[in-house]
Structure 1
Amino acid sequence: MLSQGPARTTRLRLVSRLLVFMAALYSFCWISGFPRQYDDDELPPDAQKAKSSTSSIPYPVENDKLVVTIRTTASDAYAKLPPLLLLIGQEYHDQLLLVGDLHMDIGPFHVHDVLDRLDGQFIADNPDLGRYKQQIANARAGADMASVNAHLTQEEREAMAKLDKYKMMRMLERTWELRPDRKWYVFVDTETYLFRANVMACLGQFDSSDATFFANPSDPDAVDPYATSGNTFILSGEAMQALFVDRTTEIAVWDSRATGYRSDFDVLNSALGTEIDLSINGTWPGMSGFQPFTVPYGPGFWCEQVLFMHSVSTAMASDIWRLERDRQDNQHTQDPLLFADLWTRFLQPENLETPRDDWDNLSSGPDNSRWNILFEGVEPDPRRHHQRNEEGRATKGEESWEACQESCNRNERCVQWSYSSIATPNFNENGQTKCHVSRSMRFGASKPKADVPLENGTKAKQTWKSGWRKDNFENWARQQRCKGQQN
């Protein structure tokens, strides 16, 4: 018996070890079957991109399901379309449409005259269409349209703007006719920059089988009704089908109705509401009338995605295109491009520490009234949502540009100021002032000396000087945490 003890012990140890090994193997197999969850930064770049694209976009938009229609005119087609088309990738050309008020060819692209189906008698009897008749006559005579339109008077430009009212619904009709049954339809003009990746990701959050109208309402009381809202709009495929397939009445009824409206956008808004009971779904600030040098950088913009920009020059469009290309090269395209990224690229490199003579940073502009800081003692208008209370008021700085600068420096919210030698409207309760202080930062542009009329009927030279508190703004910016921001 004694001699059998060690052997039995050895066998027991072997059995125990075998049981432990089998339990460990079972546990490993069981745990390995769990779905694995990782933080984005734990995944390799390709996996991060795949995860983002599949989980955050419930209704993906394919390239061939997004139609972009560009509005132009015979007066600017040859000048503005070629550089714009150069910046649009060839893979998007099949879903691109060019529409205007005269049949034209720009290289391989055709510009469709959407007014060519208007009733002849209607054209003859409508004074708003006099410019269109003359344009057709010039084209038939073989006139060089670029030369004909090189020196347009203000009256002629206003006449051309009236044509837009009649082009609006016909443009939609022609777009559906040439590119039916797509998911989304985007309508822009020749000075619009479309941030395609952001737009497609944004539209991917919405079901195109629902009738949807993305736009921003214009401000009819403003000097420029579209200065802040922009004039781009988007319609879902369902909305277009409701207009041109499901309806029994012809869209031509809006030819005569357009006469009574102030603008083309008013025609569109009324037609969509009347015909298919569709109202605006606002897209502020991603869709706006700003460009990188006019954006009011600050709260409300900083962490927002950029979808469209307006009044974009050819040079600026090229610079924005280069920014997008650099982001692709640096593999940053999995994150949306934000207004903060525009600041980093376009304004941060600028020398804003020294005030600039003959420069207007737009502190006094009509589209900056919501960011102007009220002076002490000014009674706020309770109807203005952006004016709160007495807190954060600025001292008046009318005596000199130095006094205006000091007014801004003393206000913790102020990040820029401008001073005009002659008082100008501040477009808020401050009224006519020389000093304009703002809590948004904008670059603006040069503003040469100019003669302006005075109340007594004489004229005087007006000069501008602008300055910024870049350090104050950057202190604020460093405290912001935008999801996915690339610096």
Structure 2
Amino acid sequence: MPLSLPRGLSPVRLLVVFLLLLSLLVFRSYYLPSPQGSENWWRRPQADSPENLSDVDLDNDFSDIEDHGLTSEIPDFADAVKATTSAPSSSSSPKPAFDPSIPACRQLPGADKVVVMVKTGATEAFARVPEQIVTLADCVPNLMIFSDMAQDIGEFHLYDALDEVGEEYKENHDDFQFYKNIHAVHAAHGDVSVLGSEKGWNLDKWKNIPMLHKAYTEYPDAEWYVTIDADTYLGWTNLLHLLAHQEPDEPLYAGCVYWHGPTAFAQGGTGYILSRNAVQRFEKIRTPEKIADWEKETSTICCGDVMLGVAMGHAEVGVSGVWPMFQVDPPSALGWSDRIWCTPAITWHHSHSYDIEALWQFEREWINKTWDDKTLSAKPYLYADAFEYFVQPLIADNKTDWDNYSADKVFTKPSEDHVKENNDWDWKNDEEKQELWDSLSILEKRATKSVKQCRKACEADSGCIQFSWHPGTCKLNNAIKIGHAVDPEAETTSGWMLDRIDQFKNSREKCEVKWEVDHR
């Protein structure tokens, strides 16, 4: 049987259909964009063509993307795509403004311009560093951890800060005998943590100056270089806000200012900041002769942060103060007073692992709560905000088996069975103790008898905002502190004047954020 075409489809009509299909194929190849032209073409629809979103899978569930740390509350990738529609189109097909697979804190403005150096020692590395790796490392693109021995903790590398110190000192100085011991024990797969912290402290002073040079060598194009100790929490969000108010091409060396003889320096534990300009000035004078001078002085001086202050003085960069943004205490020991209330919080020194965990959780929640899609950043937080998180839920009229670190005024009745507390009163002789007791008022003497009487002494003192009591001693304080739980055998009870605290807070409801840098 001869082949026949479907009804209504004559050879002429078939030819017309063929030509139309051919024309459409030619038109598509010449005039429609090809997805092969850019790997992420589909991610960046044209600003004036919202209909192009039809090519994007907006129904897919991206909720299983892992939260690696501080993340914004963009609920899924579709919202991130929508957020890009207001941006101008580009032939280079830039990436979306926000990548939800990367922690939000790593994408904060200026994050890639900062190098953070964490200083530790081999004997404490496994006790201190892991907490920094699972918190700070999530946020900081340029993070370097320095020790007195190169080693790896998981996939994270620790640099030896001392490998380039002159052989004269490595071979002959007592501090470096400990350095050799650490390396020998580590090479034998031993536990270096048992070698002792005092000798590690002596070796620590050699690190600050070499660390800075190594960081500059690794990141010569950075704008800022920040150093903290491993037992310090760094508030990354607020640090970037502070740096945004500074000029990297001006000579800035800033921290909590201390003095060692005639040398003003930024205390290393609380952390310090160096601008690009300051580090470039340091590098300019870092000659072999100057290095020899610095090492000679380091061999006889107490501390590495003091030596950095000496070196920056030689570079003609004076130290500036950033206290109370940089603090020597964690939340539990901090005195929450009027001076710090409206100030941004950046570093918290002497933080244990549980302090760092709590501060990390607070910052995560703060970023999620205040994230701004337009600026891709979070609001700065103040000590007042941290107070609501760390202090407010814990304070009460009375709290048994708790020491809130009250110490501004101490009333103690001299007795043979008094439990020493390692404060100034305990180091006085019996005659001095009796003289102090005799100088107290009747109300103050009664305060040593009970929690109730101690509270009355606080109520009678207009500046007192909290107290603590244990048998024979009453202590009053003018700043709010949290403190910590104690063994029941200590028989310690603490209390807070809640009405005075409420009055204090209500009178400071409105805060003006100030990024105070005290240029000296």
For normalisation by structure 1, the TM-score amounts to: 0.69
C-alpha distance after superposition, 1:93-118 (max 9, x if no partner): 3x111111001012222111111112
Verify the 8 A CA contact 1:353 1:467 in the aligned structure 2. Answer: yes
User: Equivalent residue for 1:157?
Assistant: 197
3-state DSSP class of the match of 1:419?
A: strand
Residues 415-454 of structure 1 mapped to structure 2, 5 A cutoff: 415-421=465-471, 434-448=473-487
3-state DSSP class of the match of 1:172?
A: helix
C-alpha distance after superposition, 1:315-337 (max 9, x if no partner): 22222222222222223564311
Measured at CA, do residues 205 and 436 of structure 1 come closer, stay the same or move farther in structure 2, by a change above 3 Å? Answer: same
Q: Which AA in structure 2 matches 1:267?
A: M
3-state DSSP class of the match of 1:269?
A: helix
* 1:413 corresponds to 2:463: yes
* 1:133 corresponds to 2:180: yes
3-state DSSP class of the match of 1:335?
A: coil
Residues 300-319 of structure 1 mapped to structure 2, 5 A cutoff: 300-319=339-358
1:238 Cα deviation (Å)?
Answer: 0.8
- What is the distance in 2 between the residues matched to 1:164 and 1:229? 11
* 1:107 corresponds to 2:154: yes
* 1:181 corresponds to 2:209: no
1:241 Cα deviation (Å)?
Answer: 0.6
User: Equivalent residue for 1:466?
Assistant: 494
- What is the distance in 2 between the residues matched to 1:91 and 1:447? 35
C-alpha distance after superposition, 1:64-90 (max 9, x if no partner): 211001111111222322232111364
Measured at CA, do residues 230 and 302 of structure 1 come closer, stay the same or move farther in structure 2, by a change above 3 Å? Answer: farther
User: Equivalent residue for 2:230?
Assistant: 190
3-state DSSP class of the match of 1:186?
A: strand
- What is the distance in 2 between the residues matched to 1:343 and 1:96? 29
3-state DSSP class of the match of 1:185?
A: strand
3-state DSSP class of the match of 2:159?
A: strand
Residues 250-261 of structure 1 mapped to structure 2, 5 A cutoff: 250-261=290-301
3-state DSSP class of the match of 1:214?
A: strand
- What is the distance in 1 between the residues matched to 2:484 and 2:308? 33
1:355 Cα deviation (Å)?
Answer: 3.5
Verify the 8 A CA contact 1:129 1:163 in the aligned structure 2. Answer: yes
User: Equivalent residue for 2:403?
Assistant: 360
- What is the distance in 1 between the residues matched to 2:243 and 2:405? 32
Q: Please point out which of 304, 309, 312 is paired with 1:272.
A: 312
Which stretch of structure 1 is more off in the superposition, 242-251 or 196-205? 242-251
1:351 Cα deviation (Å)?
Answer: 4.6
Question: Structure 1: which 5+ runs fail to align?
Answer: 1-45, 47-59, 365-371, 376-392, 423-433, 451-461
3-state DSSP class of the match of 1:281?
A: strand
1:186 Cα deviation (Å)?
Answer: 0.4
Measured at CA, do residues 346 and 121 of structure 1 come closer, stay the same or move farther in structure 2, by a change above 3 Å? Answer: same
1:435 Cα deviation (Å)?
Answer: 2.8
- What is the distance in 2 between the residues matched to 1:91 and 1:195? 10
User: Equivalent residue for 2:270?
Assistant: 231
Q: Which AA in structure 2 matches 1:192?
A: T
| Sequence identity percentage | 25
Verify the 8 A CA contact 1:296 1:440 in the aligned structure 2. Answer: yes
Measured at CA, do residues 240 and 395 of structure 1 come closer, stay the same or move farther in structure 2, by a change above 3 Å? Answer: farther
C-alpha distance after superposition, 1:459-483 (max 9, x if no partner): xxx7543221123112211121333
- What is the distance in 2 between the residues matched to 1:374 and 1:345? 29
Residues 239-250 of structure 1 mapped to structure 2, 5 A cutoff: 239-248=278-287, 249-250=289-290
* 1:400 corresponds to 2:449: yes
User: Equivalent residue for 2:383?
Assistant: 339
3-state DSSP class of the match of 1:300?
A: helix
- What is the distance in 1 between the residues matched to 2:368 and 2:345? 19
3-state DSSP class of the match of 1:166?
A: coil
- What is the distance in 2 between the residues matched to 1:408 and 1:251? 56
Q: Please point out which of 511, 516, 519 is paired with 1:483.
A: 511
1:253 Cα deviation (Å)?
Answer: 2.8
- What is the distance in 1 between the residues matched to 2:512 and 2:380? 7
Verify the 8 A CA contact 1:373 1:394 in the aligned structure 2. Answer: no
1:220 Cα deviation (Å)?
Answer: 7.1
User: Equivalent residue for 1:63?
Assistant: 111
CA RMSD of aligned residues (A): 2.9
1:235 Cα deviation (Å)?
Answer: 0.7
User: Equivalent residue for 1:43?
Assistant: none
- What is the distance in 1 between the residues matched to 2:233 and 2:442? 36
For normalisation by structure 2, the TM-score amounts to: 0.65
**Rg bigger for which structure?**
2
